[in-house]
Structure 1
Amino acid sequence: MKQQLLGLADRLAQIKVVLCDLDHTLLDADRQVPPDTDGLLERWLSAGYGFVIATGREPRRARNLSPVLDQCPLICYNGTWIEHLGDVKYTRPMSCDLTRSAIECLKRTNPNAWIGLEIDDRLYAPRPLGRWGDAIAADPTAIRAEAFKVFCPKSHLSPSEADRVRTSVPPGTCLWISDDYDVVQFEDAVWSDKSVGAAWLLDQWNLNLSRCMALGDETNDLTMVSRSGIGIAMSNSNPELLAAADLCAPNHDAEGVKRVLSAVLELQPQAPV
């Protein structure tokens, strides 16, 4: 990694903050923080650098991952929720009308689909289901609220139903369909963008994305990686992200984030002002 970073020495000299995805980026295959990472992050923060988690996860699933990460700001719901030390700083959910449109789209496609609504870090759904065991039982069609996500399991839709959803995305929403996460998910088309949330947070510190190094692996990391001063894709990333990134790091199982941070600290032991 040192040689790759040396090729971007001018940009590296400006880097003050890391924006880092969680799943398949920082976390290992067991969705845990790799051993010794906390010690490295302590060195990173002590050197004057910032570290920000930027994830599609719900806030409750991005907290309590490690003692050091608990000190770092969280950008959750793909950029539409920001908190630090338990204090919520910024929220941009979908409007009530967009939320309703997304629910209706899924209901039209499959009236029996299990639909979940993420509202203010709580999940509302017809019943707990699988990994969504923390769901609060409720009829989504009876709720009028601003949701951060409206989703259903992809496995609940046939291939033709999934295709119908793709061709009937309500205006103002964006659609993400994932086999890996078994999800068909609607979010706000404008605010659901990690780079938008990150830009707001950085502005509070009188910084901008050019002062950041971003690491990710998925489509929802694309704008964050491509707009940052240095964008890094993990080797397990999808082709679109690999093409947009400045550098490629070893994958999450090889502790690629740890290798990148270690290389930066060797080349630049103290953060620039």
Structure 2
Amino acid sequence: LTAPVGIRERFAFASGEATAALDELRTRAGIVEAVLLSTCNRTELYLYPGSDAHLEAAEIVFAKKAGELVGGINQYLYRYDGSDSVRHLYRVAGGLDSLILGEAEVQGQVRAAYKLAESVPVHPPLAGPVIHRLFQSALAAGGQIRSQTPIGEGAASVASVAVELARKIFGSLSGRQVMILGAGTTAELVVKALERDGIGGLVVSNRTYERARDLAAKLSGNAVHFDRMPFTLAETDVLIASTTAPHPLVALDGFRHAMDGGRARPLLILDLAIPRNVEPEVGG
């Protein structure tokens, strides 16, 4: 059950969008309990009870977010009912349904999605007794999976896999210039994965300059404002993008302008964000 990145990014909800969607589902469709989980690999809506009318309302919300798609959205949707939906959430929270088996970030994402539903100002709360028990038990199960089975031993993350790919491509990252877009959890994991590489320099660019500065300092790096980021690309060997921006931060025109002086060495771009931070045309 998967879809290409160009489709997944069209279904991706930022926190504010998820809050608005949940509020709409309650006020317009009368949905009783709901959690909207949106990560780089999935967008899932958990409903209780799941009547046909509620499911139809959910599809309308997804269709509105995705916009017009050839063939419609149903070709990309999957549905679980009853115990199958419980089993699925347990697998998600435990990292068993992730692109990288056993990765731990998804458990925090599941928790954050539940907390967001809890925060929507409606009464009765969207995180009602059934959803509450479902998500708390799924999070507990995820913790048990990682602590009581070998899956948690040396589990990789999307960030660590990205860094390992860069190592394989360059042979070594020693002396290389690395830029990270974003300063959230994924960016922090990238920095952690780079600790042993002896990179030549690190630049972090983030919407909040202070967060970029604090993260860059962990490897004695530098922070740059978003508006100065393109001018730093010319000196970069590896760009790893991981922000939650709803639109590309590296556009083809800006990229070409930044590279006007030409490059004597390759630039590796690893875009870990959904929606993508880098326009696909940049790679062409």
TM-score normalized by structure 2?
Answer: 0.30
State the structure with bigger RCO (CA 8 A, min sep 6), 1 or 2.
1
Bigger-Rg structure (1/2): 2
